[in-house]
Amino acid sequence: MGFRVAAKTIGCEGGNCPTTYIDEEGSVIVQGYRTSIAGRLRFPMELLDRHARAEGRDSWGRAHDRDRGRLSPPRRP
């Protein structure tokens, strides 16, 4: 499967920095920091905003379901 880098975390060093990618089907892949909760990652919100700007949007979208901790991805026009 092919993919391209869309956005990287500024100021992160060491090669395993939070990064977003887009695969050939248009899906977003997020690389983040491990957390103590299995299957969950942590990454700076600014990374998603940087990703959105790289894709021609103003921001990722701040719609947030606080009960479930989910972020809404940007909607395509």
- pTM of the full structure: 0.64
Which SS3 state, helix, strand or coil, does residue 16 take?
Answer: coil
| Non-local CB neighbours of 72 within 8 Å, separated by 6+ positions | 61, 63, 64, 65
Domain ranges of the chain: 3-59
> Would you give per-residue pLDDT tens digits along the chain (77 residues)?
788 888 888 888 877 889 988 888 888 888 888 889 888 888 888 888 888 888 888 777 654 433 344 555 555 54
> Which residue stretches of 1-77 are H helix?
45-54
Residues 5 and 54: their CA atoms lie apart, in Å, by: 10
Residue listed under structure tokens 């695969």: 23
Rounded to an integer, what distance in angstroms lies between the CA atom of residue 56 and that of residue 44? 19
